[in-house]
Amino acid sequence: MELFSAKEVSKTYANHQALSGVSISVNQGQVFGLLGPNGAGKTTLIRIINQITAPDSGQIFFDGRPMKADDIYQIGYLPEERGLYKKMKVGEQAIYLAQLKGLSRRDALRELKIWFEKFEIINWWDKKVMELSKGMQQKVQFICTVLHRPKLLIFDEPFSGFDPINAELLKQEILQLKKEGATIIFSTHNMESVEQLCDHIALINNSKKILDGPTQQIRETYKSNIFDISYNGDFGRLDHALTGKYRILSHDEAGKNNNLQIQFLNGNNSNQMLKDLIEYVEIVSFNEVIPSMNEVFIKVVKQNS
């Protein structure tokens, strides 16, 4: 079921085309990756979703109908540029931000205590924000983003500045929010996080959407007939068997088994490859190489630049 969609959205600032006919559809309970190089138009689309600015043309739909002004209470937004008041005490600021999203002071206090204990920052409740490390400030802002349990969460580079342990903590919380039914738009340049978290992605470049689909399906689409093979035997004989049919990308004879990475040529397939190889060596394992999202990102952006 679709929770959010943008239909043919365009936006121009002065002489700069920020978005040009961009359409995306985000299903309920989905982690949707909004990707693109710097300046591609991602931030503009996020600002439009948050009603910070309006599109020049196109439509925004929320929960099956055109988006309304008070839908903002059903959105939680964690911007890349954090915005806490440095001289305000952490606890009071968190309560204040929760009240802005419609929670009573009593409910906000109850929920905040739970989150602060979970994130191990309860001892910082009465400290000023300026006394916290950058990572702790980000924890506070993450909590303030999710506290009112909005239908749609938007995270823009949520792991920026986190050490690996706290990044993993946040990652697990995002997966738990998804499990509980939250819908998430996730914008990042960390493609490893995209592979771990995102069900679906859209890639924007130079104001236009250039790729859209399920994350794993996209990776499968861009595979290029490359296999990793582990074998026992004489590489000299194997090299002769591969000539003209396959391209050798790498070869390593260190360790218990020999390792080889090859690419099909001339329309061969995995069955034919195995048939060709087992005549000369003993195959221990073979696995098709699926490109990472980082490799797909670079390839697609270069093709469309």
In a domain, 125, yes or no: yes
Range 190-197 average pLDDT: 94
85 with 171, same domain: the answer is yes
Q: How far apart are CA 263 and CA 257, in angstroms?
A: 20
Choose one of 176, 201, 220: the last residue of a domain.
220
In a domain, 296, yes or no: no
CATH of the domain at 282: 3.30.70
165 with 269, same domain: the answer is no
241 with 137, same domain: the answer is no
237 with 210, same domain: the answer is no
In a domain, 212, yes or no: yes
Residue 267: per-residue pLDDT? 67
Residue 191: per-residue pLDDT? 94
Q: Which tens digits make up the pLDDT trace of 20-48?
A: 999 999 999 999 999 999 989 999 999 99
8 with 146, same domain: the answer is yes
Out of 75-84, 148-157, 187-196, which region has the weakest mean confidence (pLDDT)?
Answer: 75-84
Q: Which tens digits make up the pLDDT trace of 149-166?
A: 999 999 999 988 788 998
Choose one of 164, 196, 220: the last residue of a domain.
220
Tell the residue number behind the tokens 């006919």, with chain if given: 21
Residue 196: per-residue pLDDT? 94
Amino acid at 105: R
Mean pLDDT of the chain: 91
Q: Which tens digits make up the pLDDT trace of 221-267?
A: 999 889 999 988 888 877 777 777 888 898 888 767 889 898 887 76
Residue 62: per-residue pLDDT? 96
In a domain, 98, yes or no: yes
In a domain, 167, yes or no: yes
Range 93-100 average pLDDT: 93
Number of separate domains in the chain: 2
In a domain, 281, yes or no: yes
200 with 131, same domain: the answer is yes
CATH of the domain at 106: 3.40.50.300
Q: Is the pLDDT of residue 268 over 90?
A: no
Residue 171: per-residue pLDDT? 94
- Which residues, in sequence order, are bridge partners of residue 285? 230
In a domain, 198, yes or no: yes
Q: Is the pLDDT of residue 295 over 70?
A: yes
Q: Is the pLDDT of residue 271 over 80?
A: yes
51 with 146, same domain: the answer is yes
Q: Is the pLDDT of residue 11 over 70?
A: yes
In the chain, pLDDT over 90 holds for what percent of residues?
A: 69
Q: Which of 124, 100, 121, 96 is nearest to 109 (CA)?
A: 96
**pLDDT category of residue 15 using cuts at 50, 70 and 90:** confident
Q: Is the pLDDT of residue 185 over 70?
A: yes
Range 94-119 average pLDDT: 93
95 with 235, same domain: the answer is no
Number of alpha carbons in the 13 Å side-chain half-sphere of residue 191? 15
57 with 41, same domain: the answer is yes
Range 35-64 average pLDDT: 94
Give the range of the structural domain holding residue 129, as residue numbers without chain letter: 2-220
276 with 214, same domain: the answer is no
**Phi/psi at 145 (nearest 5 deg)?**
-75, -40
In a domain, 301, yes or no: no
Q: What is the DSSP string of 90-150?
A: HHHHHHHHHHHTT--HHHHHHHHHHHHHHTT-GGGTTSBGGGS-HHHHHHHHHHHHHTT--
60 with 13, same domain: the answer is yes
70 with 166, same domain: the answer is yes
